[in-house]
Structure 1
Amino acid sequence: MSEPHFQPASHEKKLSASLRLIRPSQWVKNFFVFAPVLFGGALLDVHALLAGLVAFFSFSFAASSIYCFNDIHDVADDRRHPEKCHRPVASGAVSVAQAYGVMALMFLLSVALTFLLPLFSPLSSVNLLTVDGLAQPEPSCVSPTLYVVVFYWLLNLAYCVKLKQYAIIDVCIVAFGFVLRMLAGGEAVGIELSHWIVLMAFLITLFMAFAKRRDDVLRMEQTGEAPRKNTNRYNATFMDQALTITASVTLVCYIMYTVSPEVMRNFHTRKLYLTSIFVLVGLLRYMQIAVVDKRSGDPTKVVLRDRFVQLDVLAWLIAFVLIIYVG
Structure 2
Amino acid sequence: MNQSPSLPLNTENEYIPLIIDLDGTLTPTDTLIESIIRLIKNNPLDGLKLPFWMLSGRAVFKSNIATRADFSVENLPYRQPLVDYLRSEKEKGRRIILATAAHRSIAESVAKHLGLFDSVLASDEKRNLKGKIKLEAIRETVGERFVYAGDSAADLPIWKAAEAAILVGASSQVSKAARRMTPIEREFPRINPGGIVWLRALRIHQWLKNLLLFVPLLTAFSFLDGSKLTTMIVAFFAFSLAASATYVVNDLWDLENDRSHPRKRNRPFANASITIPTGITVAAGAMMVALMLAAFISNGFFLMLLLYITLTSAYSWVLKEYVLIDVVMLSLLYTLRILAGAVAISIPTSSWLLAFSVFIFFSLALVKRCSELVSIGQIGGEAARGRDYRVTDLIVLWPLGIGAALCAVVVFGLFISAAETQARYVSAQLLWFVAIGLIYWLGRLWIKTARGEMHDDPLVFALKDSGSRMTILAMLLATLVAHSIHIG
Contact 1:219 1:226 in 2 (8 A): no
Picking from 247, 252, 258, the partner of 2:405 is 247
Q: In structure 2, what is the equivalent of residue 133 of structure 1?
A: none
Amino acid at match of 1:171: V
Deviation of 1:267 after TM superposition, in Å, equals: 3.5
Residue-by-residue CA offset, 1:226-245 (whole Å, 9 max, x unaligned): 23421128612101211231
Residue-by-residue CA offset, 1:245-277 (whole Å, 9 max, x unaligned): 101110011112222111222334433533222
Q: In structure 2, what is the equivalent of residue 154 of structure 1?
A: 310
Q: Distance in 2 between matches of 1:326 and 1:109?
A: 43
Residue-by-residue CA offset, 1:155-204 (whole Å, 9 max, x unaligned): 11111111100011000111111111001100111111211111111211
Residue correspondence of structure 1 range 104-123 to structure 2 within 5 A: 104-117=284-297
Q: Distance in 1 between matches of 2:416 and 2:408?
A: 13
Q: In structure 1, what is the equivalent of residue 78 of structure 2?
A: 5
Whose RCO is larger (CA < 8 A, sep 6+)?
1
Contact 1:58 1:111 in 2 (8 A): yes
**Against the structure 1 CA distance between its residues 13 and 148, is the aligned structure 2 distance closer, same or farther, given a 3 Å change threshold?**
same
Q: In structure 2, what is the equivalent of residue 184 of structure 1?
A: 340
Point out the structure with the larger strand share.
Answer: 2
Picking from 211, 221, 238, the partner of 1:58 is 238
**Against the structure 1 CA distance between its residues 12 and 4, is the aligned structure 2 distance closer, same or farther, given a 3 Å change threshold?**
closer
What SS class does the counterpart of residue 13 from structure 1 fall into? Answer: coil
Residue correspondence of structure 1 range 70-89 to structure 2 within 5 A: 70-89=250-269
**Identity over the aligned pairs, expressed in percent?**
27
Picking from 265, 268, 279, the partner of 1:99 is 279
What SS class does the counterpart of residue 42 from structure 1 fall into? Answer: coil
State yes or no: 1:273 paired with 2:435: no
Residue correspondence of structure 1 range 233-312 to structure 2 within 5 A: 235-274=393-432, 275-291=434-450, 293-298=451-456, 299-312=458-471
What SS class does the counterpart of residue 390 from structure 2 fall into? Answer: helix
Q: In structure 1, what is the equivalent of residue 358 of structure 2?
A: 202
**Against the structure 1 CA distance between its residues 270 and 15, is the aligned structure 2 distance closer, same or farther, given a 3 Å change threshold?**
closer
Return the index of the structure with the highest Cα Rg.
2
Deviation of 1:42 after TM superposition, in Å, equals: 0.9
Deviation of 1:67 after TM superposition, in Å, equals: 0.6
Contact 1:144 1:188 in 2 (8 A): yes
Q: TM-score, normalised by structure 1?
A: 0.85
Contact 2:431 2:482 in 1 (8 A): no
Contact 2:208 2:459 in 1 (8 A): yes
What SS class does the counterpart of residue 116 from structure 1 fall into? Answer: helix
Q: Distance in 1 between matches of 2:329 and 2:335?
A: 10
What SS class does the counterpart of residue 224 from structure 2 fall into? Answer: coil
Q: Distance in 1 between matches of 2:475 and 2:249?
A: 36
State yes or no: 1:316 paired with 2:389: no
Point out the structure with the larger helix share.
Answer: 1
Q: Distance in 1 between matches of 2:212 and 2:447?
A: 24
Amino acid at match of 2:446: M
Q: In structure 1, what is the equivalent of residue 331 of structure 2?
A: 175
Q: In structure 1, what is the equivalent of residue 320 of structure 2?
A: 164
Amino acid at match of 1:243: G
CA RMSD in angstroms comes to 2.2
Residue-by-residue CA offset, 1:80-117 (whole Å, 9 max, x unaligned): 43432221112222111111111111211211111332
Q: Distance in 1 between matches of 2:452 and 2:412?
A: 26
Number of positions where the alignment pairs a residue of Structure 1 with one of Structure 2:
302
**Against the structure 1 CA distance between its residues 105 and 324, is the aligned structure 2 distance closer, same or farther, given a 3 Å change threshold?**
same
5+ residue gaps, structure 1: 118-141
Q: Distance in 2 between matches of 1:14 and 1:306?
A: 27
Deviates more, 1:83-92 or 1:310-319: 83-92
Deviation of 1:17 after TM superposition, in Å, equals: 2.8
Q: In structure 2, what is the equivalent of residue 36 of structure 1?
A: 216
Q: Distance in 2 between matches of 1:180 and 1:234?
A: 31
Deviation of 1:317 after TM superposition, in Å, equals: 0.6
Q: In structure 2, what is the equivalent of residue 125 of structure 1?
A: none
5+ residue gaps, structure 2: 1-72, 80-167, 170-188
**Against the structure 1 CA distance between its residues 12 and 218, is the aligned structure 2 distance closer, same or farther, given a 3 Å change threshold?**
closer
Picking from 177, 197, 200, the partner of 1:20 is 200
Deviates more, 1:38-47 or 1:214-223: 214-223
Q: Distance in 2 between matches of 1:96 and 1:69?
A: 10
**Against the structure 1 CA distance between its residues 310 and 162, is the aligned structure 2 distance closer, same or farther, given a 3 Å change threshold?**
same
State yes or no: 1:231 paired with 2:389: yes
**Against the structure 1 CA distance between its residues 200 and 237, is the aligned structure 2 distance closer, same or farther, given a 3 Å change threshold?**
same
What SS class does the counterpart of residue 91 from structure 1 fall into? Answer: coil
Q: In structure 2, what is the equivalent of residue 131 of structure 1?
A: none
Q: In structure 2, what is the equivalent of residue 124 of structure 1?
A: none
Amino acid at match of 1:39: T
